[in-house]
Amino acid sequence: MKMIKLVLETGEEYVGESIGFDLDQAFSLGELVFNTSMTGYQEIISDPSYCDQMIVMTYPMIGNYGVNKDDFESLTLSLKGLVVKECPMEGSNWRNEYSLRELLKRFKIPGIAGLDTRELTKKIRDRGVMKALLVPENYPAQNIQSLMGKSLGNDQISRVSTKNPIHFPGEGKRVVLVDFGYKKNILRSLMRRNCDVVVVPWNTSFDVIQSYRPDGILLSNGPGNPKDVPEVLPIIRELQKAYPMFSICMGHQLFALANGADTEKLKFGHRGANHPIKDLLLGKVFMSSQNHGYSVTTQSVKNSELEITQININDKTIEGLSHKTLPAFSVQYHPEACPGPEDTAWLFDEFISSLRN
């Protein structure tokens, strides 16, 4: 059994079993976050929004049903590490094709098992997300201190976004999906509704998007700080005037910034498949799947072109916005789920309906 070490920015060290890529004398540096989902680990670790992050899974057993070719949310893995309490050697589900351990090794992602992940989660809740290192058990202490001073960068969106436009033919309305790090189930949700979808890179110009003759625009989820890509804000302002627009997660935050609102970093973010949100227009509560570390500030919306449509029941943060005069709206969570509840999949129908009108 190979042992490796998790080192927190605050100095604590935890030794556990290596379940992924063999670090040998290498290291992995990332932002330590936690996810409260009980299932759906394959979709979680293949979500591009986790770029440069290490995920602590609060549920004690991860990997018990294995991995299959159908449940990936991207073609590659962008996370920096996985931290679990227990990871079985093999999966037992009838859809299993290979183990979670094999998946991590194939994509060169380190993982550590045998830690008290609920203790780690409490520390993140108390102190906020923090930098962390995965290193070999005998890694020199002086090197660790030096590595902790390294920056995680601010180019996550450009790294995970598609580099060239991709066309997914359909018989219905054409939607241009602006890729800030989109999950595949967003694409599947559109195609199930017969949409003709063109996926374009995150920084595609208004003129190029217009040349595809879209009926509507969808701004996707993605990693990092929305303020790291200010160059997209003028493009969003042009797009929302010309086409109906639906924005998800990172797209929601960029939509807010483009319309005069502001964003801030949350202490430990929302990551899990059990977050209750209230729709203020319908007067109903829905369960949602979430993965984000930033939020639109409530006070800033008051002086913007937007109005609040949904809030998080746990902490009252903004979960939905709509433009006061244009056919454009957004949500902070993932209506496409994967993993998580499908309570809000009807938002895609609302978007398609706006295209018909």
State the catalytic residues.
Answer: 249, 334, 336
- Count Cβ neighbours within 10 Å for each residue of 64-81 and write b for 16 or more, e otherwise: bbbbeeebbbbeebbbbb
Q: In what order do the strands lie in the sheet with 328-331?
A: 166-168, 196-201, 174-179, 216-219, 245-248, 328-331, 318-323, 306-312, 263-279, 284-296
β 81-84/53-57 pair status: parallel
Proportion of the chain in helix, strand, coil states, percent, rounded to 5 = 25, 30, 40
The token duo for 122 is: 């409490």
The token duo for 54 is: 């290490």
Beta strands in the chain (DSSP E): 3-8, 13-18, 28-35, 53-57, 81-84, 111-113, 130-136, 166-168, 174-179, 196-201, 216-219, 245-248, 263-279, 284-296, 306-312, 318-323, 328-331
